[in-house]
């Protein structure tokens, strides 16, 4: 937190003050009574506004803004759809002709965070996009909405502070203390795809149900295939529902879905390559939610560059997707081989055209049932396919400035889609 004190002219206010002062000096030398009267009156008005604002700062000392982002905060890929951030402040009295403004300044890192520790540009090697957004409070309200959005997923870090400004735009007073904000922006949703998940194709995990010596059995609702002799007729009669008695030694199979998210790519990616990674993240999020909605008992074993997750519950999936938003490209690395037993399980692979090691990975898994989701740039020959478009002009509309190097196109890698079950998403970047 940083305290702000003092009084500053706005740019228009400073220009007005200088012009008025020059007119007053020239009118005094020319002894023009009419100009002397008007310029002196203008200077008195400017001074009165400054004094009124200065006294108002005493009531605003120590106030801190509370700004809350929508959760989860998602990007928007079809134009900029500004998200509403809720800003609140303590109830304070604002003088006449003044308004309390909230300013958000920070950096947006679409390339993510290398060390996943919430820090900024030192880990990424980039300075990120400059972010600036502002809103004002009405005199009768202590809350306001801030319009701030991002065209693609990533990581935002910024500071919010108050300013007291007069409605004539002459003065801008820093007041109160600033408040920091760190937010991960999830990728915008992608379109649906026709895919069928075969539950029997996943790895089956056998786990014993634990029980104490006092409780040798546990109960659950009857399911087709249970033995009739295992039905607890006494308990079933009390609640009018068939209840099955299961021994703690009974082993139940849990279907595990093996997922590989190949976030391999260049160390300093262009905006076109970052957009491909963003769309791959969106496709992975769609896949996990779709599969989980189909069967809530599925467990995901997710592997990315140097990291692994085991996700069973919806809460674990939500936490993973928030973490996924800040995962950047990683350099290609040697991948360990798998044994023949694991080759029997079907896997789901998510990658981009930036993944130079994808073909080698697929060759090593050629005896394994595999479904590939790949994101690539749309070319002239792919114009008949639907495409997710990122427009650089949407950055200023949402409150951030695109980086200059993004306007210099660089030829993106075009990985060929292998034969078999390959599902291709197309993406492109425009001005």
Taking only the tens place, the pLDDT of each residue in 202-232 is 555 544 444 443 344 567 777 766 677 778 8
Q: Which domain holds residue 217?
A: 210-249
- 5 inside domain: no
The β-bridge relationship of strands 98-109 and 129-136 is antiparallel
pLDDT for res 127: 66
Our CA angle for 325, 329, 332, nearest 5°, is 145
Residue 246's pLDDT band, with cuts at 50, 70 and 90, is: low
If asked whether residues 403 and 324 sit together in one domain, one would say yes
Query: What integer is the mean pLDDT of 383-412?
Result: 79
Query: What integer is the mean pLDDT of 154-182?
Result: 90
Query: What is the number of domains present in the chain?
Result: 4
Residue 48's pLDDT band, with cuts at 50, 70 and 90, is: very high
Q: Are 6 and 173 in contact (CB under 8 A)?
A: yes
If asked whether residues 148 and 244 sit together in one domain, one would say no
Who has greater pLDDT, 72 or 118?
72
* CATH number (domain holding residue 418): 3.40.50
What's the alpha-carbon Rg for the chain, to the nearest Å? Answer: 30
Tell me, rounded to whole angstroms, the distance of Cα 186 from its chain centroid.
Answer: 3
Q: Are 103 and 160 in contact (CB under 8 A)?
A: yes
- 199 inside domain: no
If asked whether residues 223 and 275 sit together in one domain, one would say no
- 195 inside domain: no
If asked whether residues 49 and 111 sit together in one domain, one would say no
If asked whether residues 260 and 239 sit together in one domain, one would say no
Residue 343's pLDDT band, with cuts at 50, 70 and 90, is: low
Domain end marker among 139, 169, 185: 185
If asked whether residues 146 and 226 sit together in one domain, one would say no
Residue 153, pLDDT above cutoff 50: yes
If asked whether residues 128 and 245 sit together in one domain, one would say no
- 390 inside domain: yes
- 240 inside domain: yes
Residue 250, pLDDT above cutoff 50: no
- 197 inside domain: no
- 202 inside domain: no
If asked whether residues 337 and 348 sit together in one domain, one would say yes
Residue 422, pLDDT above cutoff 90: no
**DSSP reduced 3-state for 248:** coil
* CATH number (domain holding residue 142): 2.60.40.2550
- 2 inside domain: no
Q: Are 409 and 272 in contact (CB under 8 A)?
A: yes
* pLDDT per position as a tens digit, 101-134: 999 999 999 887 655 444 444 444 456 889 999 9
Domain end marker among 229, 249, 269: 249
| pTM, rounded to two decimals | 0.76
If asked whether residues 330 and 399 sit together in one domain, one would say yes
If asked whether residues 301 and 226 sit together in one domain, one would say no
């Amino acid at each position: 937190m940083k305290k702000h004190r003092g009084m500053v002219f706005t740019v228009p206010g400073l220009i007005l003050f200088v012009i008025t002062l020059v007119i007053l000096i020239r009118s005094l030398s020319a002894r023009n009574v009419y100009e002397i009267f008007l310029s002196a009156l203008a200077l008195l008005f400017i001074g009165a506004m400054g004094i009124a604002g200065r006294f108002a700062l005493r009531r605003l000392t120590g106030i801190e803004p509370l700004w809350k982002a929508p959760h989860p905060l998602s990007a928007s890929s079809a134009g900029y759809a500004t998200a509403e951030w809720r800003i609140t402040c303590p109830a304070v009295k604002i003088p006449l002709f003044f308004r309390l403004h909230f300013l958000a300044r920070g950096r947006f890192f679409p390339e993510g965070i290398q060390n996943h520790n919430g820090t900024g540009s030192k880990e990424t090697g980039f300075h990120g996009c400059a972010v600036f957004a502002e809103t004002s409070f009405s005199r009768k309200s202590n809350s306001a909405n801030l319009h701030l959005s991002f065209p693609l997923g990533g990581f935002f870090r910024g500071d919010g502070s108050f300013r007291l400004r007069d409605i004539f735009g002459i003065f801008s007073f820093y007041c109160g203390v600033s408040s920091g904000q760190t937010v991960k922006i999830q990728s915008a949703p992608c379109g649906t795809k026709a895919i069928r998940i075969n539950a029997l194709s996943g790895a089956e995990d056998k786990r014993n149900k634990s029980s104490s010596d006092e409780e040798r059995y546990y109960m659950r609702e009857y399911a087709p295939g249970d033995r009739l002799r295992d039905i607890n007729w006494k308990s079933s009669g009390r609640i009018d529902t068939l209840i099955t008695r299961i021994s703690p030694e009974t082993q139940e199979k849990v279907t595990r879905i093996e997922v590989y998210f190949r976030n391999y790519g260049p160390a300093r990616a262009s905006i076109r390559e970052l957009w491909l990674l963003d769309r791959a993240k969106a496709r992975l999020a769609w896949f996990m939610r779709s599969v989980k909605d189909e069967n809530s008992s599925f467990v995901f074993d997710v592997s990315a560059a140097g990291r692994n997750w085991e996700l069973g519950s919806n809460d674990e999936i939500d936490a993973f997707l928030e973490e996924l938003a800040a995962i950047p490209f990683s350099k290609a690395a040697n991948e360990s081989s798998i044994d023949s037993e694991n080759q029997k399980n079907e896997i789901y692979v998510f990658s981009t055209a930036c993944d130079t090691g994808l073909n080698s990975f697929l060759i090593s898994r050629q005896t394994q049932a595999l479904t590939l989701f790949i994101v690539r740039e749309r070319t002239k020959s792919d114009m008949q396919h639907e495409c997710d478009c990122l427009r650089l002009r949407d950055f200023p509309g949402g409150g951030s400035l695109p980086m200059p190097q993004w306007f210099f196109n660089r030829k993106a890698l075009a990985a060929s889609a292998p034969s078999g079950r390959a599902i291709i998403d197309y993406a492109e970047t425009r001005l």
